[in-house]
Structure 1
Amino acid sequence: MGEESASAGGAAVTLRSLLAFEDGHALRLLCAPAAPGTVVRRIAVGLDDLRPGQEGVLLLAVGAAPVAGTVREAARRGACAVVLGEADEGLVPAARDAGVALLARAEGTGWAEAAALLRSALSYVGAGRVEDAGPPPDPEAAPSLAVLAARVAAYVKGSITIEDTRLRVLAHSATGPGADALRRTVILGGRVPDWRVAELRRSGLLRALWTSPDVIHRPADGDSPERLVVAVRSGREVLGSIWAAADGAALAPDAARHLRTAAGLAAPLLVRERLRESGTAHRREAALRGLLHGLGDLRTHAWSLGLSPDAPCAVVVAERRPAGRSQDRSLDVLVLEISALRPGTGVLRDGDRLALLLAGEGAAADHERAVRAVVRDLDAAVSSLPDAAAVWLGVGPVVVPEEAAWSHERAGLVVRALREREARALAAGRPRPLRSSDAAGVGASLEVLRLLDAVRPVWESGAGPVHDLVRADLAGGGELVRTLAVWFETGHDVTEAARRLLVHPNTLRYRLGRVRERYGVDLDDPDSRLLLALAVRLAAPPAS
């Protein structure tokens, strides 16, 4: 039989908070509910367990036929969500029409396991032990961090806060009578306020924190007391930070030493805090990946990320030049910067590339301006890093969540255009162009790349003199292809092309003569010249 929700005496339990409790391996969300804040009050097992007049029932469809009629009947009897024995995408339209969520057991998960998981989640979340968008906390983690904060405060003779990389307060020591107003604001708000984050960024302290291995000292300034801060790391990964503030008196002379020791002790506790959030992170990453690549049910992905259907969104792609140095941290710093600038930004990392989904509210034009400001800040952050690899930032258009894949595609094309422009500028001895832009900033280059991508399969399946030339020359080192590329780029200017190639103009003329004599390609014929120009641009594999 079904069981009543613990929410009767505690917090309201939404479907999103219920799903955040588990790690995404037992239940699969096929279709989001019509109402984003759908409340679950009870779990029912089988259609016969649905009681007339009730609402907010999550039905485990045990023994029911997996047909559209089952979904519609469950909705009629008050179900807000239906869990199927196995995934059936064909029932999604019926669920949408009925306004209910549709889930399925993962392979290898039995009904008893699914029921036990959901009942535990309903009891746990309803008791108020977990926020709507967060997973259940590890009961050991927060007290341990709090004890550490109290002990360190006693050693350094000041006040302590332990924060994650999003500048949320995970633990703090007791607040004394001499605590400054900023510390009280941070503790009461549960995170560093936006104005303070902006100040830390402007002063360079935040960037120094994420990149420096040692304790950073900030002297007293007006009403702001002396502060020490150190990053908590696991290897090269930054997990958070520990802040010490003078609390009515000077910090202990050896406070920095105690803070360094505390950072080492805090690392495993913050790793545990990260693991506590892994269930929600797993679901968010799967939803974000689906949304950015246009895979699966896009409305359901947007719902899982907490996005309203008409929220303005834009995708920013950041791509690092392959560093060849394992210590390059440019993308790591970008992730930390965006976490501080806009908490909640969707971040997807694949090798040397980041995709950022920035969602907002209000008009698209306002969000577009906000995104441009964020990109300027990110560009400034990574440009200031010493010896960091080059990073290009491409901005996609503002769209609704279901069109995020298009914004992602355009942002990626902008990055490719920026990279190619920089390569051409360097080859021509011109100043390096900007490394961040939107589609308007790269002009026709964007459409040229789209056309090249479209024509590539046609070229690769073709044959003839131009194909023979390109394939044979690339097999021999590609000297002729590189020569033609520069010749086309300079508008057939032999003198300028020879200068860029560091050869005599007669050498260049000789190479062009070989195109006709050896391969029979007439450079005076406009069709042959057009095909050869395309072939040269397509000679290298497309950038992903």
Structure 2
Amino acid sequence: MPTATRASGATLRHLAPALIGPLVELLAAPDGLDRPLADVVISEPDEEPREDHRGCLVLLIGVRGAGALRPLIAAGRSGAAAVAVRTGTGDEALETLRQAAVECGTALLGVRDEARWEQVAAMARTVVDTVHQAPELAGQYAHGDLFSLAQTLAALTGGVVSVEDATDRAIAYSRSDTPVDEVRRLSILGHTCPEAYLAALREAGVYGRLRGGEDVVDVAARPDLGARRRLAAGITAGGRLLGTIWVQEGDTPLSEGSGQALRGAARLAALMMIGHPGGAGPESGLRQELTAGLLAGRLRPASLAGHLGVAARTGATVIAVELHETHTDGGPEAELRRARTAEMVSLHAAAFRRTAVAARLDGRLYVVAPDASPAADASRPRTSDPGLTGWTAELVTTLRRHMGTPVQAAVANPVPRLADVPQARAEADRILSVIAHDPGREVATYEDARAAVVLGEIVGLLRARPEIHDPALAALVRHDRKHGSQMCESLLGYLDAFGDVRAVADRLHIHPNTLRYRIRRAVTLTGIDLDDPEQRLVAMLELRRLRVTEES
């Protein structure tokens, strides 16, 4: 039986960081995440909606897929703040459930099969009870996230990283084989920075500079105090110093760009350490979930816009990053590499622009970078920001260096509103598909790949409509399959090169006369008139369609 409703002060925003992850997915939040959450109740399949379901998270057990539609609508109409339903991979009813939740104004959570209902209920009730009984605990940050952030920053800078809170207490640090100085050793062992070094920092005005904004402070070495050179950045929010991040130099100088990486790490650390007004928990994971939801077209832009502090009508650019795995291991090691890559991308995104946010989705990494300037006239052509393209190139170079594996990125054309982000993501995916055949190419923009992207779309439409084809070219396909020849490739190369026999022959590593013979033979087999521009165009499209079909 459900417990009685109570005014706990909790909201869906409190709940999201604790629940949302690999096993629970936020599918819809039509009224945002600031809706009050009174309690958590379990609803049996045949149970009628109750008055005390109002404002609750209702767990619909015993139903899934299309079977959850009726109780979902009933719970929404009874005033439920959110409904959780069991979902599975490829669930065809998912979009229907999401639309129903939006119409009811009810948030919708999808619970994977691997998650047990009792676990979900226990965790949700813990969050609600914590906010109700001890609001000050609701804003606790996750040390695990800070340790991971410190390790990523250490890898990017080549230094030794420590994170301290506002009382100079060490709360997270990186593992390192680099020699640490006496200050670092004592800070970790004693959980606080030695007083003599603190006094020296205060005398030098370091803390005053750290409170003043986002400056990265270069702190000179103090051999007399056992301290090597450091870079420091304040973790600030609303003019308040929440803590500091320190990067100690080891036996070798810090890497180029360490200051920029440190600035991004400080911004991410602030998201981990602060609570949303009202005492919400860690924001960084929630931002990523909201970003993934927007990219996938599951969530309205208002939720993410509120988190980023921008208007929903703000324009944005989407960047897609592809990590081409060279390792066959698909286990924990591969997942760890992907997680580390995601952290690096998030750190660099935060360093580039405070409102930029990264998310993992369907095996790729994406960055959504809202416009830094006010929204422009949506009717005017929008082109990629050279600064953002340059930043993307730097990101790819960094990832390739640290991950030791090919990385490619695509910069979609800017879109005028956050609501258009899903279309921008699709465009970025198409650009990645275009450059995937050229591993040496690190970054491409829509302007770079516009013709190839449009052509790819046309070929995709032809593949979806197999009845639209030129049967004459089927003879070439049969000939290649029977004799192991390269008639299709030779003809396509010839058409692409405007009949430049020598260039195509060199590329195919054959004699020009061999290519001439193949072209004559192709004309005989198909009856194509190569002097007819329309027949040439159809042949080029058909041969591309056939090639893509063979490759897939």
Q: 1:218 to 1:366 in 2, by over 3 A?
A: farther
Residue deviations 1:233-268, cap 9 Å, x none? xxxxxxxx97338xxxxx9x99x9xxxxxxxxxxxx
Which residue identity is paired with 1:15?
Answer: L
Distance in 1, Cα, partners of 2:540 & 2:85: 57
Aligned match for 1:414, one of 425, 431, 452: 431
Residue deviations 1:263-315, cap 9 Å, x none? xxxxxxx9xx9xxxx99888766655554344xx3328955994664343321
Aligned match for 1:179, one of 195, 201, 204: 201
Which residue identity is paired with 1:480?
Answer: M
Residue 366 of structure 2 is aligned to residue 355 of structure 1: yes
Distance in 1, Cα, partners of 2:495 & 2:145: 66
Q: 1:31 to 1:530 in 2, by over 3 A?
A: closer
1:278-317 pair list within 5 angstroms: 288-294=291-297, 297-299=298-300, 306=307, 309-317=312-320
Distance in 2, Cα, partners of 1:162 & 1:301: 43
Q: 1:378 to 1:226 in 2, by over 3 A?
A: farther
Normalising by the residue count of structure 1, what TM-score does the alignment of the two structures yield? Answer: 0.61
Distance in 1, Cα, partners of 2:475 & 2:84: 57
Which residue identity is paired with 1:128?
Answer: E
Deviates more, 1:465-474 or 1:176-185: 176-185
Residue 267 of structure 2 is aligned to residue 244 of structure 1: no
Structure 2 residues without counterparts, runs of 5 or longer: 43-48, 62-67, 88-92, 148-162, 232-244, 255-268, 273-280
Residue deviations 1:74-129, cap 9 Å, x none? 3xxxx6x1436768976766754564435577669888765543331023245222
Residue 140 of structure 2 is aligned to residue 128 of structure 1: no
Distance in 2, Cα, partners of 1:282 & 1:139: 9
Q: 1:15 to 1:22 in 2, by over 3 A?
A: same
The match for 1:535 is 542
The match for 2:83 is 83
Residue 52 of structure 2 is aligned to residue 49 of structure 1: yes
Distance in 1, Cα, partners of 2:246 & 2:74: 56
The match for 2:150 is none
Residue 392 of structure 2 is aligned to residue 378 of structure 1: yes
Contact in 2 for aligned 1:313/1:400 (Cα 8 Å): yes
Distance in 1, Cα, partners of 2:302 & 2:470: 44
Q: CA deviation at 1:407?
A: 0.4
Q: 1:188 to 1:490 in 2, by over 3 A?
A: same
The match for 1:404 is 421
1:108-507 pair list within 5 angstroms: 116-125=122-131, 126-131=134-139, 146=170, 156-158=181-183, 173=193, 176-179=198-201, 184=207, 194-196=214-216, 226-227=228-229, 243-244=247-248, 288-294=291-297, 297-299=298-300, 306=307, 309-319=312-322, 336-342=347-353, 345-348=357-360, 353-360=364-371, 363-365=374-376, 372-383=386-397, 389=406, 391-418=408-435, 435-459=442-466, 464-473=471-480, 476-477=483-484, 479-507=486-514
The match for 2:77 is 72
Q: Secondary structure at the match of 2:411?
A: strand
The match for 2:15 is 18
Residue deviations 1:321-352, cap 9 Å, x none? 6768999999676565335434661232666x
Contact in 2 for aligned 1:42/1:57 (Cα 8 Å): yes
Contact in 1 for aligned 2:357/2:368 (Cα 8 Å): yes
Q: 1:345 to 1:497 in 2, by over 3 A?
A: same
Q: CA deviation at 1:530?
A: 2.9
Q: Secondary structure at the match of 2:247?
A: strand
Distance in 2, Cα, partners of 1:38 & 1:460: 51
Q: CA deviation at 1:316?
A: 0.9
Which residue identity is paired with 1:146?
Answer: A
Distance in 1, Cα, partners of 2:467 & 2:138: 55
Distance in 2, Cα, partners of 1:443 & 1:105: 40
Q: CA deviation at 1:453?
A: 1.4
User: Please, what is the CA RMSD of the aligned residues?
Assistant: 5.7
Contact in 1 for aligned 2:181/2:228 (Cα 8 Å): no
Distance in 2, Cα, partners of 1:392 & 1:138: 29
Aligned length: 446
The match for 2:261 is none
Structure 1 residues without counterparts, runs of 5 or longer: 8-12, 51-55, 164-170, 201-216, 230-240, 246-250, 257-269, 424-431
